[in-house]
Amino acid sequence: MEIAVTSSVERIGAHATRQPESIAIVLNGRTVSYRTFFHEIGKMVVALRQLGLQQGQSVAVETSNTYLHWLIVLACDALGVATLSYDHDEVPFITDTLASMDMVMCSPDKAPVHTKRIHHTDHNWINSVSEIQVERPVKPVCLDPDAPIRIVKSSGTTGNLKVMVQSRGVFENRLARCQDHVGFSPQSRFLVAMGFSVQAYHLNATACLRAGGTCFFETRYPLAEALTKHAITGIQLLPSTLIRMLDSISASYVKTPGLRIFTLGAPVSQKVHALTIDRLASDLSECYSTNEAGAICRMHADGAGTIIAGVQLETVDDDDTPVTGEPGKVRVKSASLVSGYLNNPEANLKMFRNGWFYPGDIGIIEDDGRLRIIGRADDLLNIRGIKYAPQALEEKLLTELPVRDICLSVLEDNEGVCKVWVVIVPKSADSMPYIQENIAALLPPLFGAVKLTTLNAIPRTTSGKIQRAVLNRELQALQQRS
């Protein structure tokens, strides 16, 4: 399917003309109409031109000021300037990338070192932008489908961030698939639960605005309360966040009519799916996707996924021979696929080969053509020669024990014997006696005697995946001290 290439600014401008007083954004109670939003994007375009930014350049934009951040990203879209959204705590992992950008825009107290040019987005500059007079509507300067438009990150389970470029054509393709999956409309009320440093949230929020809907940003209330206060129709959540919401809402909580929840980052168990429909939402929609390839499969409650039209997917053995009905390495081709990582030839050789992307997942293509994901190849636990996928059990333990987070791992002890570790973040110190008394009955006999330990937090990527390599280093340090 050929995707028409357009610009987010053009779409917002069209809504500003047709429905000027409709609300584009609600930020902690402050409402911004489409007319005002489009006008302020125009001011930002002028401000960025005054800074000397022009087509073909790249800018990193720190995300702490949500509204300002989006204005800058959209103005850069109109100017043909590629943007990277980043959180301040990601700086140590993207130092080289920030150093290569033509400009880094951030608040004065969060300026990274070793960059070409830093522009402080302080109050004086923000005030000067607000005083700019816009004489004509904003028009995009470049709609070349091959031109870079977004620079995004893939938060690997090793703790390292990989960086890649999305062309405008790739970005438009992903927006079209997002719209096809979610079905945004002018009546959509989408609650943005995380910042744009996670590309899926930027993508969904952009798709909502393009459709003429309203995006909500809310930090005053817990998510469950914000859903009801704003009559939200859609929200995207990490499975771990969804589970915590289900655990925290009271018995008297009244779910929002018509609410759809979209999950990303990991599969959701049938039990959590049923609880979500019973307690929280009218629909729970899962999508198997990657930062590199975008949406791949629409997942169903039974754990299998229908491959999205336009996506070519195979499972292959160690010789890259396609296999069906048995476990194999997943590989994918699509118009949403990036060409590779920036300055990471080792990862490119491993994960991008002959036009295919290998995300590192193990799956089975079933007789009906659907894909069932078993787990990540580097997540499989080797327990006395048996490969065990831990994700389903981790989710079961998370729902049945009083814990905030949980992870399984395998390490050799000081005698060289492999032992299963169960790492938990308990809800409170009072929870430990119950956990210790009941956990053994929830574990398979295959595990044998396990090591139970607690941490203040389990290392996860921004998309919610457990960083097992990082965790194992912490466990090894604990083991050496014991």
Please state the domain extents for the chain: 8-24+32-163, 223-376, 381-481
DSSP E strands: which ranges in 116-178? 118-120, 148-155, 161-167
User: Per-residue pLDDT tens for 220-265?
Assistant: 999 999 999 999 999 999 888 898 899 889 989 999 999 999 998 7
Q: Pick from 256, 281, 284: which is nearest to 269 by CA?
A: 284
More confident residue, 186 or 390: 186
Angle in degrees, 0-180, between the axes of helices 8-18 and 66-79, rounded to the nearest 10:
110
pLDDT above 80: residue 326: yes
Thinking of the domain 223-376, which architecture would CATH place it in? 3-Layer(aba) Sandwich (3.40)
- For the chain, the residue count is 482
pLDDT above 80: residue 5: no
pLDDT above 80: residue 157: no
Question: To the nearest whole percent, how much of the chain has pLDDT over 90?
Answer: 63
- The band of 155, judged by pLDDT with boundaries at 50, 70 and 90, is low
Thinking of the domain 381-481, which architecture would CATH place it in? 2-Layer Sandwich (3.30)
pLDDT at residue 228 in the model: 95
d(CA 222, CA 218): 8
Range 139-160 burial, b when 16+ CB lie within 10 A, else e: ebeebebebbbbbbbbbbbeee
CB 47 within 8 Å of CB 74? no
Mean pLDDT lowest among 76-90, 150-164, 214-228, 428-442: 150-164
pLDDT above 70: residue 330: yes
pLDDT above 70: residue 3: no
Mean pLDDT lowest among 199-203, 224-228, 300-304, 433-437: 300-304
At the top level of CATH, which class does the domain 8-24+32-163 belong to? alpha beta
Q: Is 316 exposed, middle or buried (0-12, 13-18, 19+ CB in 10 A)?
A: middle
In a 13 Å sphere around the CA of 481, the CA atoms on its Cβ side amount to: 6
As given in the structure block, the two tokens for residue 88 are: 């301040």
Does this chain's domain 8-24+32-163 share its CATH topology with 381-481?
no
Question: To the nearest whole percent, how much of the chain has pLDDT over 70?
Answer: 97
User: Per-residue pLDDT tens for 262-312?
Assistant: 998 777 878 888 899 999 999 999 999 999 999 999 988 788 899 999 999
Q: Pick from 332, 339, 348, 412: which is nearest to 148 by CA?
A: 339
Angle in degrees, 0-180, between the axes of helices 199-210 and 168-182, rounded to the nearest 10:
70
